[in-house]
């Protein structure tokens, strides 16, 4: 999927300026991968970007980023940061992609069909790995990889090596990685009275953590700027 997103160049930087920018209904953006490693400091409409991130292709949406002097440019989302309380977008990093060069992206796995091992043998589907790393051209990024579990009996499974070949992309995750299998349902024993009493004691509540999305740790956005 490809979509268009408008951006504006920023001339002012720093935490205070970023706050004023958000009050005006924009969020700061950094674009990586320009000529000679140059970065661009931009701003975008968070509502328009949020709509992209909540689409079927999500962070793998190929974006045509439009701003003054940009030319014909395609980008992908590298990282984005959300407010831990309101969950509103605070900052986004994009990286520029070359349409004729292979890249690696992580895509979700979708299961289809009803397993015979569940229907006929009382098994349970254990969805072990819900994402795969694939290699493809930017224009060929799939929204997801579909795995049919209709023929899985009890104790059967699907590994990466079992996936059908695709002429537009290839999976580069470990060939032995188990994606899904059908297992026997677990039988949980009744807790002993002493264990039940201990479980009733409330544990201290951990404080909420800030919400960081996409690959790895999100660095402080404004410290990376010019």
40, 118: one domain: no
Residues 104-149: tens digit of each pLDDT: 999 999 999 999 999 999 999 999 999 999 999 999 999 999 999 9
Question: Taking residues 186-211, what's their average pLDDT?
Answer: 58
Classify residue 191: in a domain, yes or no: no
88, 107: one domain: no
**Count of structural domains within the chain:** 2
Residues 154-174: tens digit of each pLDDT: 999 999 999 999 999 999 999
25, 49: one domain: yes
Tell which residue, 77, 140, 143, 151, has the closest CA to residue 109: 143
Q: What SS3 string covers 11-34?
A: CCCCHHHHHHHHHCCCEEEEEECC
Domain that holds residue 34: 2-98+210-224
Residues 63-97: tens digit of each pLDDT: 999 998 878 899 999 999 999 999 999 999 999 99
78, 28: one domain: yes
51, 91: one domain: yes
Residues sharing a CB contact under 8 Å with residue 121, sequence separation 6 or more, in sequence order: 153, 154, 182
What is the pLDDT, as a whole number, of residue 34? 67
110, 85: one domain: no
157, 109: one domain: yes
Residue 26 has pLDDT above 90, yes or no: yes
144, 120: one domain: yes
90, 114: one domain: no
162, 138: one domain: yes
Classify residue 58: in a domain, yes or no: yes
CA atoms within 13 Å, Cβ hemisphere of 2 = 10
pTM for this model (two decimals): 0.76
- Name which residue leads in pLDDT, 17 or 197: 17
> Which CATH number belongs to the domain containing residue 90 in this structure?
2.40.240.10
Token pair belonging to 31: 């674009």
What is the pLDDT, as a whole number, of residue 48? 95
28, 94: one domain: yes
């Amino acid at each position: 999927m490809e979509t268009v997103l408008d951006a504006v160049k920023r001339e002012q930087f720093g935490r205070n300026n970023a706050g004023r920018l958000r009050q005006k209904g924009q969020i700061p953006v950094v674009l990586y991968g320009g000529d000679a490693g140059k970065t661009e400091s931009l701003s975008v409409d968070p509502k328009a970007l949020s709509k992209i991130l909540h689409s079927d292709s999500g962070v793998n949406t190929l974006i045509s980023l439009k701003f003054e002097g940009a030319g014909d440019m395609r980008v992908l989302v590298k990282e984005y940061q959300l407010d831990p309380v309101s969950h509103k977008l605070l900052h986004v990093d994009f990286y520029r992609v070359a349409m004729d060069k292979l890249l690696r992206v992580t895509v979700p796995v979708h299961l289809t069909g009803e397993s015979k091992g569940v229907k006929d043998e009382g098994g349970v589907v254990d969805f072990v790995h819900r994402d795969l790393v694939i290699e493809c051209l930017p224009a060929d990024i799939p929204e997801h990889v579909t795995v049919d579990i209709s023929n899985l009996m009890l104790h059967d499974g699907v590994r990466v090596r079992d996936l059908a070949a695709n002429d537009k992309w290839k999976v580069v995750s470990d060939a032995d990685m188990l994606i899904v299998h059908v297992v026997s349902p677990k039988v949980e024993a009744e807790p002993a009275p002493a264990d039940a009493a201990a479980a009733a004691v409330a544990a201290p509540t951990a404080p909420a953590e800030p919400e960081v999305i996409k690959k790895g740790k999100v660095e402080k956005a404004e410290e990376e700027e010019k």
